[in-house]
Structure 1
């Protein structure tokens, strides 16, 4: 890897593939069962609600990316909104960590589906081991550079979007278009809280934002790629959610929440469908992880170059991006080993929603007129994020207060860490313009 960002190295289809690759990898295979556990029989509609909230949020990112396309993506948005401050640096790290958390979520999902292919226990200690192996593979692919990532993303995205859509349609056809997952109650708080996880299933669109400097014609294509990725994913998610709900009752979906799609394929499509679904899961999660590592590495490198976070070489050869790639896979590997899927998803939701609110507030207060944005859209995005975050926090405090405490303490430590760093390392703003 070199220190130069290669302009025009990612086409519009490549950017769409990158976004859908991250979203579908985490969203449909890792989160469907967890969303059903919170939302009850209405869990397919949680994906619709998540898409609506994401659409309001995406408006801010599209407007900012059209005005200031950058390889730093969200880091640049935050710096434009807040300057080189603790708020900007802390929120940027929250975003970065939420993406790394998503990588560990995808890695564990890959491990779970691999174990299920051989009839093993999804709680086996081999699950995190397999997940770490996938993370190492993602590292090796990313070492090859952005063109390799873009080409691989396109190939794998076409395979998995087409395959998963066929799975959804085949499952609905086999079940006679009857919805079986009706045996449960839907609580308003549970449904709203489930939207926090649905949002995670769409947050991969930020991968496109973080690669803005390398996308062809970024002032136009970044926004188009985001919109297309969200539209493609919501269609695929609905097909699959209704297919799962048509094949299994709700209690079985919840019992198999870490591998719900594989279990739903067996009654609907037989043993062959079961193995084909597992293969799709492995392709989807692998490509999603590769695309996410690509984006996180560049975001960390840009934050380093903007002097918003510290950097240490630790005696390693190469440049900043080589080092941030290693940091990314090491942290993702650690989370994969020590956290289960439910807690990984919860921590990612906390970090992402808080960061998202901070971005909207900053853009609304300081950049709304400059980027010609509609203020009411930004305010709506803030309100929707806040409602979902409160509901999710309340529900998690009742069921797993430890993960709430870990989330709060983690965010506090992040802001203290960057605050101390910035106070000790003042830098003239005019020396670091990375639009």
Structure 2
């Protein structure tokens, strides 16, 4: 079905200003920034000697999950694409709005995760692992990402392309060099789980899925991509494929250089720790530089996507908005709100808790998407129902086991995560029911 020209979020005929190459750079920029440098050590600490397998399983779950987003984006490419998907599946009500907010929260959480990772690697050459400098440098990076984003789409695309090319090439060289120096034969994985057991391994898969979730940046920027009905799906598949190769290469390199216990102890800067014994001091500094490039580019791409998603939700009147006396349009305001929230989270939470909160929010939102697409949209867009149900089941298994593991090890994070989810759903129901009429939301959403 064709969209009417008045439908909100409808892209121009040829899409926006971001090319296929730049869109892939944005997607891989978010994934590699978080997945390699922020999460490799966290995943290895949970999964033990078999942690490369966690990346493989995370990729499998992600490929199933991506199907719902691809078929919906092919039918209705839009800036703020996940909000569009949820609105099409559920109508412009509390479910669509709350799940969209959860997605936005998971993206903002990812920004704080990446910012703290940047700071951790930047300070590693000075032997500083903690303290006030970590959040201070992280906040400075968030401010820099804001400045790049206010300069416009073209600057974001060019910046993402250049930095992604540098980091993907550099990380690949790091993996190859580390494997060559240490020898693949030195990596002798033990076919057993870590002391965390099966729930710990499942928790590592949850974080691996979080490492791949950058593909949603592409759907959130669908209306900005040239020829979106053709290129959004291609961009998602290419980005995931590139990241699978890079993740496995780096996992093998880290596993060949460090023991699982060494990786766990250095979980916030595992790649730098792995580089030094096999590549020397030069390799260590090269890895630190790559980490800073990767995390910076990932943060820029994420800020770009989440600000546009929140803009769409605001214009659809699915979330409240206040100018707070600022000049400019809604998008510029939401860009500021996004970086302010990310900065606050960077100051308040450590890497482990940030990653866990992001995984909870993302998995819940992902399940809401799959259920809505399967129940209400599969026949309309000729989607394969069994793929969607498989994605839903895989998410459910990972979420439940992750929750059980975190409840034993850090119950506060579980309580905060699910209390936030409940508050978001109740707040959206109150806001849409009391302050916004259904007809008003329909007029702005263009829901058909």
For the aligned pair, the TM-score class normalised by the smaller chain equals over 0.9
What does residue range 305-320 of structure 1 map to in structure 2 within 5 Å? 305-320=315-330
How far apart are residue 383 of structure 1 and its match?
0.2
More deviation in 179-188 or 296-305? Answer: 179-188
How much has 1:189 moved relative to structure 2?
2.1
- Report the CA distance shift for 1:94/1:170 in structure 2 as closer, same or farther (over 3 A): same
What RMSD in Å do the two structures reach over aligned CA positions? 1.5
1:89 to 97, 102, 106: 97
- Aligned residues of 1:165 and 1:239 also touching (Cα < 8 A): yes
Q: 2:170 aligns with which of 152, 157, 163?
A: 163
Distance 2:74 2:10 in 1: 21
* Equivalent residue number for residue 286 of structure 2: 276
Paired residue for 2:4? none
How many Å separate the matches in 1 of 2:139 and 2:203?
30
> Does 2:307 correspond to 1:300?
no
Q: Deviations over 1:7-41 (max 9, x none)?
A: 43100001000000000000000000110111110
Matched, 1:188 2:198: yes
Where does residue 432 of structure 1 map in the other structure?
Answer: 444
Q: 1:136 to 1:268 in 2, by over 3 A?
A: same
TM-score by length of 2: 0.94
Displacement of 1:193: 1.7
| Counterpart contact for 2:187–2:252, Cα < 8 Å | no
Match of 1:124 among 131, 135, 145: 131
Q: Please list every run of 5 or more consecutive structure 1 residues that lacks an aligned counterpart in the other structure.
A: none
- Kindly indicate whether the alpha-carbon contact (under 8 Å) linking 1:149 and 1:290 is maintained by their aligned counterparts in 2: yes
- Which residue is 1:176 aligned to? 183
- Aligned partners of 2:11 and 2:231: how far apart in 1? 17
Partner of 2:5: none
State TM-score, norm by structure 1. 0.97
Cα distance in 2, alignment partners of residues 336 and 181 from structure 1: 37
Question: Which residue in 2 is equivalent to 1:327?
Answer: 337
Q: How many residues align?
A: 432
Measure how far apart 1:346 and its partner are: 0.2
Deviation at 1:72, TM superposition (A): 1.6
Instruction: Tell me the residue number matched to 1:224.
Output: 234
- Distance, in Å, in 1 between the alignment partners of 2:34 and 2:294 is 8
Secondary structure of residue in 2 paired with 1:30: coil
Report the equivalent of 2:248.
238
Alignment of 1:68 onto 2:76: yes
Q: What is the deviation of 1:180? A: 4.0
2-side partners of 1:203 and 1:312: how far apart?
Answer: 30
| Aligned counterparts of 1:188 and 1:251: Cα–Cα separation in 2 | 18
Residues 1:262 and 2:272 are matched in the alignment: yes
1:389 has 2:399 as partner: yes
Which runs of 5 or more structure 2 residues have no equivalent in the other structure? 1-8
